[in-house]
Amino acid sequence: MSQEFGQRSVTTRDDEIGEVLQTVPTARTDLTGRVLPQMTLGDGNIPGSLVAPPPPLPRSASPASRAAARFRVEGNAIVTGGAGDLGLAASRALLEHGLRGLMLFDLNAADAAAKAEALQAEFPQATVRFTKVDVTDALAVDAAVAETARLLGSVDALVGLAGMVGCQHAVDTSPNEWNRVLSVNTTGVFLCAQAAAKQMVKQGTGGSMTFIASISAHRVNYPQPQVSYNVSKAGVMAMVKSLAAEWAVHGIRVNSVSPGYMDTILNEGVGLDAAKNVWLSRNPMRRMGQPDELTGVIVLLTSRAGSYINGADILVDGGQTVF
């Protein structure tokens, strides 16, 4: 074995695998002397703590008022992929439950502008805006989150719906295609989460984040091959748990939703009929979900009703994964 720590490399010999050149980050003495960073957990027993339970709903209020308050959505939210079918449905539901300000992030500026204008007309008491954002561009995401805080006054919730589908046989998947799917679906989620978390920590008010995972993160889809997509969504689920652990101390809850097959434009066209017949044959309800059927859990996770839900993934799939 030869070691050349000045060049940060190690050459090893193994009779089974031959000679391998590996790059190491630093010398062994530095590695053994390092100190790992550690998470700080919250203390919900301290009154006024960002992880303390919300105050009780007033008993003097009517049952209807308490029910409405339980699922009221406060403050301002960012919805990524806001111009899509699921993004629009989620945005409308959040506004229906009291959201004060909404910023749509989407690559399709023309479509997002039209959707924002329609939502603004439907909810004149709220402020609805849009901005063109590539979620894989860290600088663009940071700038968009900062602009949202400037225009709306704060960022209190993030709902991440931006994503893409990749269906290819594994042996035919190019490195570029693999990287493209993970860049949007996993790295893009992290960049948006990181930028929003920095803003929430700066505000000192906490917040909530809800990201879209998938049944594809729970088991292999059939009959379509889509390894890159499955891996990207499994990454979202793992990321959500990690961020929930790290950011709870700041009063930031992080969760995910795993939809089943939804009746959106992504699943339209006669070319998908054979696959859809297989999907439905394996679903106890024998149908796809409607975009509005995903909104209840998003409202739950964004509202007071979800105040003790953190690091969770909720399946909304009609029972697709029970078999």
DSSP state of 183: I
Active site includes 229? yes
DSSP state of 33: T
Q: How far apart are CA 81 and CA 134, in angstroms?
A: 10
Task: Show the tokens assigned to 131.
Answer: 């901005």
Question: H or E element: which one contains 281?
Answer: helix 273-281
User: 208 has which bridge partners?
Assistant: 157, 253
pLDDT at position 5: 34
* Active-site hit among 91, 208, 232, 233: 233
* Active-site hit among 91, 115, 208, 214: 214
Cβ-count burial 94-124 (b if 16+ within 10 Å, e if not):
bbebbbbbbbbbbbeeebbbebbeebbeebe
Active site includes 233? yes
Place of tokens 């009154």: 47
Contact present, 215 and 260 (Cβ < 8 Å): yes
**May I ask the CATH architecture of the domain 84-322?**
3-Layer(aba) Sandwich (3.40)
The model's pTM: 0.88
pLDDT at position 18: 43
Q: What phi and psi values does residue 294 have, to the nearest 5 degrees?
A: -95, -15
Task: Show the tokens assigned to 12.
Answer: 């090893």
DSSP state of 52: S
Digitized pLDDT (tens) for each residue of the chain, 323 residues in all: 433 333 444 434 444 434 444 555 567 777 778 888 999 898 888 877 899 999 999 999 999 999 999 999 999 999 999 999 999 999 999 999 999 999 999 999 999 999 999 999 999 999 999 999 999 999 999 999 999 999 999 999 999 999 998 899 999 999 999 999 999 999 999 999 999 999 999 999 999 999 999 999 999 999 999 999 999 999 999 999 999 999 999 999 999 999 999 998 778 787 889 999 999 999 999 999 999 999 999 999 999 999 999 999 999 999 999 98
CA-based R_g, the chain, Å: 22
* Active-site hit among 208, 229, 256, 261: 229
Active site includes 198? no
